[in-house]
Amino acid sequence: MTTPIIRVKDVHKSYGKGPNRFDALKGVTFDINEGESVAIIGKSGSGKSTLMHVLALLDAPTAGTVELEGIDTSTLKGKKLNRARNKTFGFVFQQFFLTANISVLENVMLPMKIAGVRRSERKARAHTALEQLEMDDKASNKAVNLSGGQKQRSVIARALVNNPRIIFADEPTGNLDTATGGNVEDILFALNRDKGITLIVVTHDDELAARCDRRIYIRDGLLVNDTTEVAA
Amino acid sequence: MNALDLIGTAASNTFRSKTRTVLTILAIFVGAFTLTITNGLGTGINRYIDDTVTSIGAEDVMTVSVSQDANTGFADSSGPAEYDPDAIASDGFNRPGSTVVALTPDDLETLASIDGVLDVEATKSISPNWIQSGDGPQYLTSVGGLVDGQTVQLAAGTAPSADSDAFELNVPISYVESLGFADADAAVGQTLTIAITDAERTQHLVDATIVGVAEESIAATGAGGLVVNDALTDELYSTQNIGIALDEQERYAQASIRFDAAATDADVTALKERLTDAGYTGTTVADQLGTFKTIIDAIVLVLNAFAIIALLAASFGIVNTLFMSVQERTREIGLMKAMGMGGGKIFGLFSLEAVIIGFLGSAIGVGIGMLVGTGISSVLAGALLADLPGLTLIAFDPLSVTVIIFVVMAIAFLAGTLPAARAAKADPVESLRYE
């Protein structure tokens, strides 16, 4: 059996201390295999965002372990951790988080800039990524002047540009109309299907969740249903 | 992110919010501008003093007189000072009417034997009655000579030749018109008659050639009077001493000694101590002007302090500006962290931004400060300060200008560390949270 790309073992995450202590995750265990598309579904306050943050190594669990390709992520510190984030993950956010007043190209180049890729290579790769998303003609536009769908496609280009193993999409269609949202979904699933990029979508949209291979339901910090288990 | 990208990104971020950045740069500019001007003032005045020092005395020359009680002529707690038959009236650096104990040939020999003294030359004090050009009016004046290494700032002609047997002298430029010459060039080559009275009350006339015209300066050789060569000095001195018994003739208020030009400050101090032990007081030109320079330096220091205060105020502007941009760019910082940018790099990004603001403010401030300073001093040189030729009131040397830029950048960096540290510490999860 191959090592799962992410293995979550009895993860707890709590905020605050004493009487103000709030347990966002109360012991969650599951594996995600490479190339899967997984939806993490739950109401707001269910702990699904916290779970995504823990999976994306933005936050360390209070207890339990998260393994990335078999490596306990609590052993990753400083530069190693930054490198793992930069090389492994791509992010797509509901609110895009594009820097408004710089060009689309600059926005897309940001992860490579952080990785220290040479400028010429950066440009070439960013253009390739934008072409893939049919956004290359907008490369020199300022991000602020794009439509919602164009913004989200730029964000996907940015997520793609470092050839990540995993793309985290946090409510990727939340700010888009149905048609544009569907379009963006198609792009994400195409990437998952054609490039084998593991897709982890955090959403409360059942339609989007239904398109995923697998759905993990979270309620009150606990995993209440995992569709793979049902299927098995 | 490599260093070059970091700088590039910081530079483009600096102008993300143009108005705010420009205002902050303006505040830094005011401080840097003031610092440049006050510093230029110090440089200009001190440079003028240095030029003057080389004109009033060579650096390896010390003026020596016999040590005496400071309170000569006045009763103090230890009673009146005893009368000294060797005391003579001095026209040196003492107050008028005061006396000094004269140096005798024995003293000169003693001085020559002191370790470190290369050469001793008595200062021959000459008091002419009047000078006259042709049949023109007679004028009062004083006479001074040049020691090796001294220079005269000339308006025309040359300095009197030390080796020549001819009687040569320089007149100050203020004498030119009174003596009846059209201009400085016209005076060169003309004959000047000097009248001098000997001990028997007989007046003698000595003719000498004007070989040059000296610029006025605050500390000109010969205290603004005639500058004469050795041949003329000897002639005037011997004329003045006619009728004085030979063994009484050689009485000098002061002597000049020369020491090794490569002597360090410590060597000079040691030489002064040896002179003091032997009963003499030695003063270098640096001593005479040292106090003056100290005062100028102190004034400039106070002015600089004001400029630094302005810079400190401006640095709070930097703190404020950067805090605002950290606040505005919370999301961006969070995103960069999520994408694997280390806290150190984030810190670097924001503190570099501060340094860029500091650099721009100081470069513009220094640039405009130099332009304005040069403008002011050239305007003043023609008007208010016309009596002090050679004085560039506000001067700049590349070193201190560079130092100003770096100091301002350092202050800006320090101001930037606070917001930069906050940005570096920002939690990506907090930053990326949205409602």
Q: Are B231 and B166 in contact (CB under 8 A)?
A: yes
Gyration radius (Cα) of chain A, Å: 18
Interface pTM (ipTM) of the complex?
A: 0.85
Predicted confidence (pLDDT) at residue B153 exceeds the cutoff of 50: yes
Instruction: Give the pLDDT of residue B87.
Output: 61
Q: Of A89, A94, A113, which has the smallest distance from its Cβ to B5's Cβ? A: A113
Q: What is the pLDDT of residues A205-231, one digit of tens each?
A: 888 888 888 888 888 888 887 776 444
Question: What burial letters (b/e) apply to A133-168, b meaning 16+ CB within 10 Å?
Answer: bebbebbeebbeebeebbbbbbbbbbbbbbebbbbb
Q: What total number of domains does chain A contain?
A: 1
| Residue A1 domain flag | no
Residue A13 pLDDT grade (very low, low, confident, very high; cuts 50, 70, 90) = confident
* From A149-158, B31-40, B248-257, B292-301, the region with the lowest mean pLDDT: B248-257
pLDDT band at A104 (very low <50, low <70, confident <90, very high): confident
**Residue from B220, B129, B209 nearest B169 by CA:** B209
Per-residue pLDDT at B89 exceeds 70: no
Interface mutation vs chain B, best among A15, A108, A114, A155, most B CBs within 10 Å: A114
- Strands of the sheet containing A89-93, edge to edge, are A89-93, A166-170, A198-203, A37-41, A214-219, A222-226
Enumerate the H helices of B103-199 as residue ranges.
Answer: 105-113, 175-178, 184-187
| Residue B61 clears pLDDT 80, i.e. is over it | no
Categorize the per-residue pLDDT at B77 as very low, low, confident or very high, splitting at 50, 70 and 90: low
pLDDT at B207 over 70: yes
Tell me: pLDDT of B218 over 70: no
If phi over 0 gives left and psi between -120 and 50 gives alpha, with beta otherwise, what is residue A18? Answer: left
**Is residue A214 in some structural domain?**
yes
Give the pLDDT band of residue B92 (cuts 50, 70, 90). Answer: very low
Query: Is residue A114 within 8 angstroms of chain B, CB to CB?
Result: yes
Write down the pLDDT at residue B75: 43
| Across B121-129, average pLDDT | 81
Average pLDDT over residues A87-110: 86
pLDDT at B351: 92
| A62, two tokens | 């209070």
Q: Give me the pLDDT at residue B22, please.
A: 92
Smallest Cα–Cα separation from A224: which of A32, A48, A37, A59? A48
> Is pLDDT above 80 for B288?
no
CA quadruple A128, A134, A138, A144: dihedral positive or negative?
negative
Largest Cα–Cα separation, chain B: 112
- Using a CB-CB distance cutoff of 8 angstroms, which residues of chain A are in contact with residue B347? none
**CB proximity A80 to B under 8 Å:** no
Question: In this structure, which amino acid lies at residue B340?
Answer: G
With a pLDDT cut of 70, the percent of chain A lying above it is: 97
CB B291 within 8 A of CB B283: no
Tell me the domain boundaries of chain B: 3-54+291-432, 60-287
Contacts with A49 from chain B: Cβ below 8 Å:
433
Question: Which pLDDT score, from 0 to 100, does residue B74 have?
Answer: 46
Contacts of A58 in chain B (CB under 8 A): 337-338, 428-429, 432
> CB B338 to CB A110 under 8 A?
no
pLDDT at B93: 46
Tokens of A172: 């990727």
> What mean pLDDT comes out for the span B31-39?
89
Looking at the complex, does the CB of residue A14 fall below 8 Å from at least one CB of chain B? no
Chain A residues lying within 8 Å of B341, measured CB to CB: 82, 86, 114
Answer whether B340's CB lies under 8 Å from A110's CB: no
E-strand ranges in A106-153 read: none
Query: Is the torsion defined by CA of B419, B422, B428, B433 positive or negative?
Result: negative
Range of the domain at A75: 6-231
Nearest to A82 among B341, B429, B433 (CB): B341
Looking at residue B99, its pLDDT comes to: 59
| Per-residue pLDDT at A9 exceeds 70 | yes
Question: What is the predicted pLDDT for the residue at B56?
Answer: 61
Q: What is the average pLDDT score of chain B?
A: 81
pLDDT (tens digit per residue) in B355-413: 999 999 999 999 999 999 988 888 887 777 776 767 778 888 888 889 989 998 999 99
In whole angstroms, give the CA distance from residue B118 to residue B219: 26
Q: Tell me how close the Cα of A83 comes to any Cα of chain B, in angstroms.
A: 6
CA A65/CA A63 separation, integer angstroms: 7
Beta bridge partners of A201: A39, A169
Are B331 and A97 a contacting pair at CB < 8 A? yes
Q: How close B41 comes to chain A (CA, Å)?
A: 45
Contact B432 A93 (CB under 8 A): yes
